[in-house]
Structure formats: C-alpha cells, structure tokens
Structure 1
Amino acid sequence: MRPFSILTLILYFWIFVATAQVPGFYMREAEKKVELPIIVSNNLVIIPLSINSGPPVNFLLDTGVKTNILFSKTFGNFIGLNYTRKLDLVGADGQTILTASVSPNNYIDMGPLEGIFQTLLVLDEDFMELEQVIGIPVYGVIGYEFFKYNTVKIDYDRQKITFYANDMMKRKPVGYKKVNIKLDNSKPYITGKIKQSSDTELEGKLLIDIGANHGLLLNRETTDEILLPEKNIKSDLGRSLGGDLFGFVGRTFLLDINGVKFKDVITSFPEETEFSYVIRESGRQGSIGSEILGRLTVILDYNREKMYIKRGDTFLIPFEFDMSGITPRLLPMDEKIIYVTQVREGSPAYEAGIRMKDEFYDINNIPIAFWELPDLIKLFRSEEGREINVTMKRFLGEDPENFELKDFKFRLKRQI
C-alpha cells in the first residue's frame, strides 16, 4: 500500500501545482474575499498595478476586451517584456490597422491579487491618448482574464472592487437584482428591453462594456427597429484605439434591465463602418457603458453566468449630455493644459465665439490649474441656464508665447 500512497500523494501534488499555474488572477492568501482600491474617473474603473516588478501604472478595467492590452511598446521595452509574434488589430474607426506584439507569461501585481502567466498585446506604436479624455495616465486595459474564475463586485460609490473566492456567491445577495448573462467570445451579454418611444419596444442583445464611457449605445445597422431619434446632434462619440468614433447622440425613452429601469437615457448611435460586420456577426444590437453601470453596484459572476445589480447613490440623477458645445481634452504636460478639441456649431460656446484650439485659462474666475478634466465635463452637463464665464488663450500663430486672452460668457443649454 505504501508505494500506492506515495504515488497518489505525488500525483495529487502535481495536479495541485499544475492547477495553481493556470493563467488567471488569484488571491495571494486563501481568503473569502479581498478588496482593491480603484480610481473612478468619468465612471471608468482604473486599477493601479505593476507588471514584472516594474513601476506602478494605471490600467482600465474593461469587460469589452478578451486579451490584456499594453498601450506603450516604449514602456514594455523599459520593463523588459519578451515578444513572440505580431498581430494586426482593427481600430475603433473600422479602418485603421494597428500592429501589436504578443508578450506571454507575464506577472501582474495588484497587491492582494496577482495575475499569473498573463499575455499582453503590446501596441507597436504608443497610444497614450486616453489621458486626454479621462484626465489621468492610462497604460493599458485588463479584460476577461480578471473575471474568468472569480466573482467581482464593482462599487463605484466607494471606489472599491471586491474579489471573491469562487464558492462565495452561490446565491443572490440581499438587495440585488439577478440578471442572466451569456458569455460570447469571452464577453458578457444580457438581454435588455429598449423603448425608444412610449409605444415601441425592442428586446436587444447588449454587451456589458465597463470600459466604455457612453450610457447606452445602439447600432442601427443591426436591425431596422433601431431608429435615430428626431431630436439628435452629430457628435464625436469618444476616443479609442485607432481613432475617434463618430455618430449621433439622442435619448432613449426607457432601458429596462430585469426590472431596473433607466429613463431618458443619453444614447449613442455610431455611424456604420467597415468594422460593423463584426458587430452584426456577434448578434448584438448595442452595449451598455459606464454612464449606466456607474449608477449601480455591479457583481459579475462569469462562472455561473450571472450579474447582480443594485441602485447606487447616483441612480436617480438625470442623464445629461454636454450643454456647452465644447469637447475638452487634456494635453499631458507638466503644466496643466486643457484645450478645445471641438466646438459644435450653433451651440452656446460657439455662439459666444469660442473656437477649436482655444485653451482654457480660467473658468468662473478659478484658474485652470485648480480644475480636473472630469470636473470640467461635469460642469458642462450640470444645469440648463447656468452661466459660464471663461477666459481663453487664443494663439495668434505657431509661437506658443504669442497669444491673447479673451473673455467669453454663455449659458448652458440642453440640446437633446
């Protein structure tokens, strides 16, 4: 019996070691749960981490991607990543082709959590432009690997993530609504009821996309039942890999997620691109982004294909779109520079005389150094009729020292 017992012990030990080495994210210690502090900026979830004992950097948590992505080959080379092959990626505009190098078997340190044998797609051309939109540096995205084995709770109000042991979420938590999800190509989908008006209803397959800063996004090319609202504005819908996404913004009368109802939702309607065939093949009609998810506490349980949601502190705040006409961006420099990347014709800011490339000097008599980009975006969505006083730098040529200061005054106006 002894040889059999020793063989069994050795086999058990080998299975244990092999299991522990499966790529994924794990708790360092055997706990029921651990908490991670996060940064919530414009309702996007940012996690500080380090790769292969390198310096700490910020990554965006994103359920809309399958593989982890590092935006900077320069940083990847700095921390000594190894690359095995190259891939081509299609950009957000459906046209731009991005090349990436594949770096396998990396170690990701999140304090009480560790990512074992993690693959990174490393963009060959540095893309550090999310800082211009979010307001803080973001070096990459963490996707499916973070969620695939363990239940994850995202508490936007407390700015915490709770990472649970796999056997801890067998029943619906008290106070939450249960929503069935379906994993398709490692991405979570739900069925939601969409009322574009009071007398029309569509059941749509919707991607749960924590890494997107829209509210509801509907792809008109997927079904004739999705119509552009009469009241809409043409807009830049956001910055992503491969360029800006353009389309229209309007309102959806009602979005119902298993009885949790959102009214008058700001909705993006992107233009059809060469990439649209991928969306059609997925069978989805759209996606739910952080402007909706950030109003909830969200628990994702990929193993049991469940999502649990409950109302957060901001649930009842009305959905608002920018009422100024300005799309501001941050220029990443030692000195804070926030400038106008677009201004919609006919908008309050445009009528007041503000133009593209104007640079904020002060806002309501507060110098720009005291403003953060998310606070400025919040101000421009705050209250119809609110008076905004700004002083802008207008440059008179290519010389950055050659400018004049111009004062502008306008009132916020709801356009959709």
Structure 2
Amino acid sequence: MTSRKVLLLLLFIFQFVGSIRAQVPGYFIKEEANKVKIPFYSSNSLIILPVSINGNTKINFLIDTGVRSNILFSKKLGDALGLEYTRRLSITGADGSTSIMAQVSPINSIDLGPVEGRLQSLLVLEEDFLELESVIGVPVYGIIGYEFFKYNPVKINYDEGILEFYKPGGLKWRPPLYRKMDLTVEDSKAYITAKINQKSGPKLQAKLLIDTGANHGLLLNQETSDEIKMPMIFIESELGQSLGGVLYGYIGRVNALSLKGLRMEEVLTSFPDKNAFSDVIKATGRMGSLGSEVLGRTRLILDYPRNRLFIKKGLTFYSPFEFDMSGLILRKVPNEDNRIYISDVRPGSPAYRVGILPFDEVLTINKVPAFLWELSEIFKLLRSEEGREIQLEMRRYVGNDLTKYSDYKVSVFLKKQI
C-alpha cells in the first residue's frame, strides 16, 4: 500500500471515529482540553447551573445524581423553546400514587458553557409538580441527571462553587488528600457504602444513594431493614419536595456517619413515611441516601466510568448540623418579587406558641423587608443560635381576598427541637 493510500485511510478513520463520537448521546468538552471549570450557584448546597437548550436563552437547571433522565418542568416552557415531542407517557410520583403526565423530546442540545450535552432527550412535565422555586427561592426550570456523569469524572467543589468536568479517562490518578471509595452505578444511579452509628439501634453498613439534588443530610428508609431504628428524640416534619408532592416523615439524629474514615457527628437524619414507592426502594438494596446537607460539607469527585468516588473534607465539614429552631416552614411565591409566606407551622414550636398561622405573609425580618432576603439566608437565620430573637412583621389575609388583611408584629425566640 502506498504512503498516499495509508494517509487517505488514516484520514478516513479519524473522520469516521469523529462522526461516531458526535452521534453518541452524552456531555462533551467543546474544546480540546483535559478538563474545564463550570461555575455554579449554590442554594443550600444544591448545584444550579444556567443552561441553554437548542440555542435558546439560558435558564437554571439543577444537577442531580438522584435522577436518570433530564427533566424540564413545564410543557409551556418546552413549547416556547420549540421542542419537538415524539410520545406521551405516565410517570409515578415519589409518593407511589400520584400519576404525572409527560412528553418526551428525544434530540436536543444542552449548552453549559464549556460543555455541551449532545443528542439529549428531555422528559417534559405537562404540569410542574416540583415548584422548586417556592422551596429553594431560586427559579429552577429543570434537572440534568445521569447523562452528565455517565462518561466523565466530575469534581464538585462546594466551597468555591466550581464543577471541574474531565474528558473521559482524564482523571488517571488519585488527587492529593482525597480518599477513595468504591462506587457502584446501578440503573443510572450511584451508590456507596457508609458506616452509621445509630442512637437506638445497631451499627449499620449502609448502601446509600448519592443524591446531589436532595436537600436533606442523611436519609434512612426504615422499611428497607429491621436494623434501622428511630432515635428516642425526633420531630414530625415535611422532608422535602419531590415528583408527586411533599414528602412527610420524621427528623432525628444518628451518633455518627463515617465516609471512608471521615466522621461526621450528630448528623440530622430523615426517616420518611412508608409509601407505595417503598417496594421500588427496597428492590435496589439501598437503606437510604446522602443529600446536599452532608455532601456540601465535602469535596467530591464522582467517576462513574471507573466506579470510584474520591472525597475529602470541605471548609464546613465540622460545622454542627442544626435544624430549624422556629417551627416555621417557609415558601417563596413563584414568579413574584421575593414574597415569602408560611406554608406550615409545627405544633408546639416557638412560632406556633406566638400564634403564627399557615398562609400568613412575612413582611419584614428583623426590620429588614422580606423581599431583600434570599430564602436560603432566612433558613440559615432560623437555625443559627438557640435563644436568638427573630422580630417578624406579618400579614394575615381574610379568606382568599388579598385586599382584606391585618398586619401584626411578633417575636420568635429560637429553640432547639431536635
């Protein structure tokens, strides 16, 4: 074979391989680089990125290892973005009973700045069941899940708000000071094994889901093992928002959680009520999950292709785990100018004892107008220091008539409940 033919053959091979790579669904670095950095906004250690779908205006998405599919929360938004749909399907919500209708948009480009998601399918909800903006205070329009991690190691620096996205095979060695843990990827979700020292039960070797999109710390599903025991001290509370609605259960603590020898003490732990989805959880073999309240205190590298996780302490690793001390469950009115209202009040709490009721609106907090507060800042304030006085100016509406109301002032003195 002549050198000219060899050259032509090599050129054909390179073009063919490049063509195949371009046709593989996944996330890829746009330029030739070993890794790139992507800044993210963090709200309660949830990872929020501005993304562009098919060249449209950027909108906020949540990076969530706990889901398989990319999800867009609104079909109205999907229509405005010009998405094309191929089929309609029904999804069962996390409560096991709610039926959610969604459309499938199969081929899309998702631009994250230096990284592009190619040939990405989107599950487009016909109705926004999550309403994450009301819970975290920041507009979020969708979720990016497994595809973002499938081929590429991803380093999460919660302290600096930076993702480092590596090309496939780009992370060859263990970075200094990181500890290596075995990671398994099953049905597009990542799991590790951790040691848990319970308050009222035996020590556990627990298989846990890595869930960057959940705002709890440690969550244990009691129905998965007879060895999981509720602590003697707990409170009943909302646990979070999910597809299908609000999850309810109990909040307690475990003595310690150990991740490859990195020990966190007195970790807040959620114990959700059993529901119709419990059998699905049991089938995975997991006992629970790790959410952002734990993960956000570390620095993580998730390497799905090589089944490994690297972890080291973050700046807030030793910060105490504190739960809300007011009894207020707050929500932001979606698409309004930072209006904050009371979703619920825990019975017996400081807020309950001074007469605050669900659906009262917060006008000022410590004499600062509510619209100047980020929801995450309010959460930090309400779990900051036992005995602290929080001065609130509130508005109570008469029925559903927003023109009829009465304003009142009250002081809530924070008190630990768990």
TM-score in terms of structure 1 length: 0.97
Give yes or no for contact 1:128–1:137 (8 Å, CA) kept in 2. Answer: no
Q: How does 1:160-309 map to 2 (within 5 A)?
A: 160-197=162-199, 200-309=202-311
C-alpha distance after superposition, 1:320-367 (max 9, x if no partner): 111100000000233321000010110000001111111101111111
Stretch moving more, 340-349 or 2-11: 2-11
What is the root-mean-square deviation in Å for CA atoms of aligned residues? 1.4
Q: CA deviation at 1:8?
A: 5.4
Instruction: Tell me the distance in 1 between the aligned counterparts of 2:146 and 2:417.
Output: 37
How far is the alpha carbon of 1:166 from its aligned partner? 2.3
Pick aligned residue for 1:54 from 53, 56, 61: 56
Residue identity in the other structure for 1:109 = D
Letter in 2 for 1:178: K
Unaligned stretches of 5+ residues in structure 2: none
Q: Which residue does 1:92 correspond to in 2?
A: 94
SS in structure 2 at match of 1:197: coil
Does the CA-based 8 Å contact 1:253-1:264 persist in structure 2?
A: yes
SS at structure 2 position matched to 1:93: coil
Structure 2 SS opposite 1:229: coil
In structure 1, distance between residues paired with 2:239 and 2:76: 28
Q: Is the 8 A contact 2:199 2:253 kept in 1?
A: no
What secondary structure is seen at the aligned counterpart in 1 of 2:396?
strand
Deviation (angstroms), 1:12? 4.1
SS in 2 for 1:415: coil
Kindly provide the amino acid, as one letter, of the partner of residue 245 in structure 1.
L
Shift of 1:282: 0.4
Instruction: For 2:226, give the aligned amino acid.
Output: D
Partner of 1:107: 109
Deviations 1:354-391 (A, max 9, x none): 11111101111111121111111111111111111111
Contact 1:389/1:409 (CA < 8 Å) preserved in 2? yes
Amino acid at match of 2:323: F
- Of 289, 313, 316, 2:315 maps to 313
Q: 1:173-207 CA deviation, whole Å, 9 max, x = no partner?
A: 00111111011111110001111138730101000
Q: Which residue of structure 2 aligns with residue 82 of structure 1?
A: 84
**Would you say the 8 A contact 1:38–1:161 is kept in 2?**
yes
Q: Does the 8 Å CA contact 1:128/1:139 hold for their aligned counterparts?
A: no
Write out per-residue CA displacement over residues 112-171 of structure 1, whole angstroms, 9 at most, x where no aligned residue.
Answer: 111100010111223461000011111110001101111111111111111112233222
Q: Is the 8 A contact 2:208 2:287 kept in 1?
A: yes
Instruction: Name the % identity.
Output: 51
The superposition leaves residues 22-41 of structure 1 with CA deviations (integer Å, 9 ceiling, x where unpaired) of 11111110112111110100
Q: Which amino acid aligns with 2:55?
A: S
Q: Secondary structure at the match of 2:394?
A: strand
Quick check: 1:40 aligned with 2:33?
no
CA contact (8 A) 1:181 1:189 kept: yes
**C-alpha distance in structure 2 between counterparts of 1:253 and 1:259, whole Å:** 15
* Counterparts of 2:119 and 2:398, CA distance in 1: 53
Q: Which residue of 1 aligns with 2:389?
A: 387
Give the whole-Å Cα distance in 2 for the aligned partners of 1:290 and 1:335.
27
Amino acid corresponding to residue 303 of structure 1 in structure 2: P
Partner of 2:17: 15
Residue of structure 2 aligned with 1:133, choices 117, 132, 135: 135
User: How many aligned positions are there?
Assistant: 416
